[in-house]
């Protein structure tokens, strides 16, 4: 389908369910442009097929549900001067995220492994999000000079308190118990029972009833123990102020001193421009519809692909793996408000086309 090799993504009917399996484990199930197009076409067909009463998306390989989009391919297009071609990926990916968000049938993501970036966009906007034992969520984009996209502008600010801002600026990971506790996941199911769950979902019984029959009580959510400090430290309107608040929390002898010092140090390694864009997203997101968030993200990426930090970040983390990016600008103070605002400006005839 759409020139997608069977080893990349599989579509099948199992009883009442349309089942999607990401099957690119050698690349941690990173989502390619062909996979995006094939997934969108199949979802549109199943939406209008009365024999399909629910959609289930899962992944092969064990280690990752999906570690994101095919960043290396997008990097190579950009450094070759083919930015418009690279933008075609996001022009197709973002409407797919919106299709999943508004899908009229239950859309159940079974996630047992790493879920980041583009993998988030095809799973966590669904109506039901099942976390297995290996569930590990992160949005680490500011560490490669990018920004939290695929609907993060909508999703992260709607998490409790300032947890979304914390996740956007740090790229820190959450496990399945934490995801359920803050509403990112809807059910926690032990990994050993996931094949049985997939089979049960194909039988046509009510989705919620089936999921409740498999769900286990969530365990301790460590992030909740940090909730008070996260809300205090990540409430300020500027990245510099957030770091200063963390530095104050890191005063020796404080109950969260070591943790706050580590988080402050982590943020200081990220792209200054990306950090300021991400914080602006978190502050604007609550006022926007999902479609408005996707249009906003397309505005941002349309500028990012013509910039410096995305290519430098991918070089440092994925290509050369020296983990020594040379950000431009190198300091938060050098990133002015006008430069941030430029990334959010309308695109005129180039706007993302969404209903």
Is 76 labeled as catalytic in the residue annotation?
A: no
- The active-site residue out of 118, 119, 145, 176 is 118
CB 323 within 8 A of CB 317: yes
Burial 128-138 (b: 16+ CB within 10 A, else e): bbbbbbbbbbb
Is 69 labeled as catalytic in the residue annotation?
A: yes
Is 149 labeled as catalytic in the residue annotation?
A: yes
- The active-site residue out of 18, 69, 126, 313 is 69
Enumerate residues 6+ apart whose C-beta is below 8 A from 113: 59, 61, 62, 63, 64, 65, 132, 134, 135, 136
- The active-site residue out of 70, 149, 177, 297 is 149
- The active-site residue out of 112, 141, 178, 312 is 141
Which residues are bridge partners to 314 per DSSP?
none
Q: Which residue has the tokens 């906007």?
A: 125
Which residue from 275, 284, 271 is spatially nearest to 345, judged by alpha carbons?
A: 284
How far is the C-alpha of 307 from the C-alpha of 208, rounded, in Å?
Answer: 45
Could you please report the per-residue DSSP string of 278-327? Answer: HHHHHHHGGGS-HHHHHHHHHHHHHHHTTSSHHHHHHIIIIIS-------
CA 27 to centroid of chain Cα atoms: 17
Is 141 labeled as catalytic in the residue annotation?
A: yes
Catalytically active residues, by annotation? 69, 118, 141, 149
């Amino acid at each position: 389908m759409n020139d997608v090799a069977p080893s990349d993504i599989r579509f099948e009917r199992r009883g009442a369910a349309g089942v999607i399996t990401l099957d690119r484990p050698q690349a941690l199930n990173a989502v390619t442009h062909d996979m995006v197009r094939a997934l969108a076409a199949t979802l549109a067909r199943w939406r209008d097929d009365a024999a399909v009463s629910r959609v289930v998306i899962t992944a092969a390989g064990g280690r990752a549900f999906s570690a994101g989009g095919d960043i290396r391919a997008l990097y190579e297009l950009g450094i070759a001067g083919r930015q418009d071609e690279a933008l075609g990926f996001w022009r197709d990916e973002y409407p797919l995220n919106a299709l999943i968000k508004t899908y009229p049938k239950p859309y159940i993501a079974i996630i047992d492994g790493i879920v980041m970036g583009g993998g988030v966009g095809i799973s966590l906007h669904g109506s039901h999000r099942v976390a297995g034992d290996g569930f590990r969520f992160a949005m680490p984009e500011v560490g490669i000079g990018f920004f939290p996209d695929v609907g993060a502008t909508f999703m992260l600010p709607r998490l409790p308190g300032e947890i979304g801002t914390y996740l956007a600026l740090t790229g820190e990971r959450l496990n399945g118990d934490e995801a359920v506790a803050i509403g990112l996941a809807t059910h926690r199911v032990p990994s050993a029972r996931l094949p049985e769950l997939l089979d049960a979902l194909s039988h046509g019984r009510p989705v919620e009833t089936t999921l409740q029959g498999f769900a286990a009580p969530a365990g301790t959510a460590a992030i909740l123990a940090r909730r008070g400090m996260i809300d205090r430290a990540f409430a300020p309107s500027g990245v510099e102020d957030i770091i200063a608040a963390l530095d104050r929390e890191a005063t020796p002898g404080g109950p969260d001193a070591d943790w706050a010092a580590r988080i402050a140090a982590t943020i200081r390694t990220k792209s200054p421009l990306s950090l300021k864009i991400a914080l602006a997203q978190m502050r604007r997101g609550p006022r926007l519809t999902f479609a408005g968030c996707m249009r906003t993200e397309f505005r941002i990426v349309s500028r990012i692909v013509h910039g410096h930090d995305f290519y430098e970040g991918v070089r440092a983390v994925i290509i050369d793996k020296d983990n020594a990016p040379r950000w431009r600008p190198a300091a938060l103070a050098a990133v002015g408000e006008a430069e941030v605002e430029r990334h959010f400006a309308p695109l005129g005839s180039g706007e993302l086309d969404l209903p």
